[in-house]
Chains A and B, each alone.
Chain A
């Protein structure tokens, strides 16, 4: 069974930085686009960023472009999200999500909570 396990969340002050990680297993990680999707407490889902299989193409939602960087390490089956200049509105559970083909995502991790507060 596909497994995606996020880590790295926590409490950070506004303007601070945080690096999220996602450990993938039970599938050939290097063949898939990967995504970060977030969910603010009690709110809906928002796609944040994604990255192509070899890490050369990256896309971001406007609200995080220039502050967040998505990356991957195919040798270690890992996905990352480097977040900087964090704002209160970035507070959310961040999910690592696999994209099996164009236009869709299938497997989701359990999520890691990022709380931005002073």
Chain B
């Protein structure tokens, strides 16, 4: 199975400051069709996960533009340009290129 490794795991942030989460895969996530199926999800306390980003950098409707995804091959990043209080929660990367689909361990974003 493809192992997804996130860092850091706890991420203390300051309101209004940028934040960045890294996600590395044990194999390339480029599929035979040329697409890279890397997703980012946010899980706020007590809620179900919510998709933020798919195909590395495509932002979902309704997701604030302070969230952005980038990367290629095996190295990916989720950036929050200016952290807001509502961004507190756990963020997961997920690869959908190889069966079985696998998630990173989760990065807990908390206000310091």
Contact = CB atoms under 8 A, between A and B. Distances in A.
Interface in A87-114: 95, 102-106, 108-111
Given A47-B101, A47-B102, A47-B103, A108 B48 contact: yes
Contacts, number: 58
A111 B48 CA distance: 7
Nearest to B47: A110
Q: Is the interface of A mostly helix, strand, loop or mixed?
A: loop
B51 interface: yes
A110 B43 CA distance: 12
B103 A44 contact: yes
B76 interface: no
Given A44-B92, A45-B94, A110-B48, A104 B39 contact: yes
Interface string B53-66: 01100001000000
Q: How large is the interface on A (under 10, 10 to 19, 20 to 34, 35 or more residues)?
A: 10 to 19
A102 B35 contact: yes
B31 A45 contact: no
For B35, B54, B95, B97, the residue with the greatest tally of chain A CB atoms inside 10 Å of its CB is: B54
B49 A108 contact: yes
A104 B55 contact: yes
Given A95-B48, A109-B48, A110-B48, A104 B96 contact: yes
Interface of B: 1, 31, 33, 35, 37, 39, 41, 48-51, 54-55, 60, 92, 94-97, 99-106
Given A45-B41, A59-B100, A106-B51, 6 more contacts: A45-B94, A102-B35, A103-B95, A103-B101, A105-B96, A111-B48
